[in-house]
């Protein structure tokens, strides 16, 4: 059976490559977010946009006040200094306004934090274990004939082994594969030092701490390849333990899982 790992999800004609894989990864000179693939990341992006609105309003208001003050209270414009030392109304206003803004920001922030921490009746569980310097994945819901769970290691693919269209320093030999439209619980830990399982498009950054189990939830809304890296400085090869999550349709996931049982 042909392994699904060698088959790109999205391939199209590209002027410089015969076969280019459409995937979610950082682009050159990118200043915004990667496209969201989970409801969690959508919430993070929406909260960021809301906060930027308040930030711009405050920036414009404070800049206007500073410029107006500098212009009208310059010595040539106002040679007689003001004797005003207190303004009760103004002091109440500039104390209450920031408090109201923080209150308006807190409500969606608390909702998002609660949603990120809540695990909704997972259909499947995947254990992720960080090592120096690679990742191990265990699909503990599925057991082979020898009563061992489906598990594999995921190493960064050497540059000389990458194919046309694959990403240097981001491609791995075994991708973590999940079905779309399925609630997945990811349990994250480490075997040696502290790592961090981080994928920007999925809105996940979960610390992998030895002796501790952290968890995160996934609900993939679309197919694709999602790239991440360890975001905790874990030693000499910290920058060489990438993460690749492949989201596929349920029939393709079953085919991939069947190939793992044959190993």
CB atoms within 10 A of CB 255: 15
- Look up tokens 């997972």; give the residue: 122
Residue 135 located in a structural domain: yes
Q: What is the pLDDT of residue 18?
A: 36
Per-residue pLDDT of 107-155, as tens digits, reads 888 888 888 877 777 889 999 999 999 999 999 888 887 788 888 999 9
Domain boundary pick from 57, 92, 117:
117
Q: Are residues 161 and 177 in the same domain?
A: yes
Question: Dihedral sign, CA of 142, 147, 149, 153?
Answer: negative
Token pair for 152: 């594999």
Domain that holds residue 88: 39-117
Rounded Cα–Cα distance for residues 196 and 229 (Å): 8
Token pair for 239: 């920058």
Domain boundary pick from 117, 141, 168:
117
| Contact indicator for 149, 124 with CB cutoff of 8 Å | no
- Look up tokens 């002796």; give the residue: 211
Rounded Cα–Cα distance for residues 83 and 126 (Å): 69
Tell me what the mean pLDDT of segment 237-241 comes to: 90
From first CA to last CA, the distance across the chain in angstroms is 11
Q: Are residues 149 and 109 in the same domain?
A: no
Total count of domains within the chain: 2
Per-residue pLDDT of 14-56, as tens digits, reads 333 333 344 577 777 878 888 888 888 988 999 999 899 889 9
Q: What is the DSSP letter of 6?
A: G
Rounded Cα–Cα distance for residues 127 and 188 (Å): 6
Q: Are residues 73 and 175 in the same domain?
A: no
Rounded Cα–Cα distance for residues 204 and 227 (Å): 11
Q: What is the pLDDT of residue 16?
A: 33
φ, ψ (nearest 5 deg) of residue 156: -65, 135
Domain boundary pick from 117, 132, 155:
117
Share of the chain above pLDDT 70, in %: 87
Tell me what the mean pLDDT of segment 63-73 comes to: 85
Per-residue pLDDT of 184-232, as tens digits, reads 999 999 998 999 999 999 989 999 999 999 998 889 998 888 999 999 9
Residue 49 located in a structural domain: yes
Q: Are residues 141 and 238 in the same domain?
A: yes
């Amino acid at each position: 059976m042909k392994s699904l790992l060698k088959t790109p999800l999205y391939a199209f004609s590209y002027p410089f490559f015969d076969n280019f894989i459409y995937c979610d990864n950082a682009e050159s000179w990118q200043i915004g977010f990667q496209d969201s693939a989970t409801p969690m990341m959508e919430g993070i992006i929406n909260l960021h946009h809301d906060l930027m609105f308040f930030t711009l309003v405050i920036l414009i208001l404070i800049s206007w006040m500073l410029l107006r003050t500098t212009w009208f209270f310059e010595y040539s414009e106002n040679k007689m200094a003001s004797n005003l030392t207190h303004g009760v109304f103004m002091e109440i206003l500039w104390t209450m306004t920031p408090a109201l803004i923080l209150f308006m920001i807190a409500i969606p922030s608390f909702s998002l934090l609660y949603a990120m921490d809540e695990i909704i009746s997972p259909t499947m569980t995947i254990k992720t274990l960080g090592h120096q310097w690679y990742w191990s994945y265990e699909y503990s819901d599925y057991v082979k004939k020898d009563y061992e769970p489906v598990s594999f290691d995921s190493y960064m693919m050497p540059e000389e082994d990458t194919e046309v269209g694959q990403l240097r320093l981001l491609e791995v030999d075994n991708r973590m594969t999940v079905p779309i439209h399925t609630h997945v619980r990811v349990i994250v830990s480490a075997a040696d030092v502290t790592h961090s399982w981080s994928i920007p498009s999925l809105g996940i950054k979960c610390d992998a701490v030895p002796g501790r189990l952290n968890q995160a939830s996934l609900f993939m809304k679309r197919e694709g390849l999602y790239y991440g890296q360890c975001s905790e400085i874990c030693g000499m090869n910290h920058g060489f333990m990438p993460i690749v999550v492949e989201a596929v349709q349920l029939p393709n996931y079953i085919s991939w899982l069947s190939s793992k049982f044959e190993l």
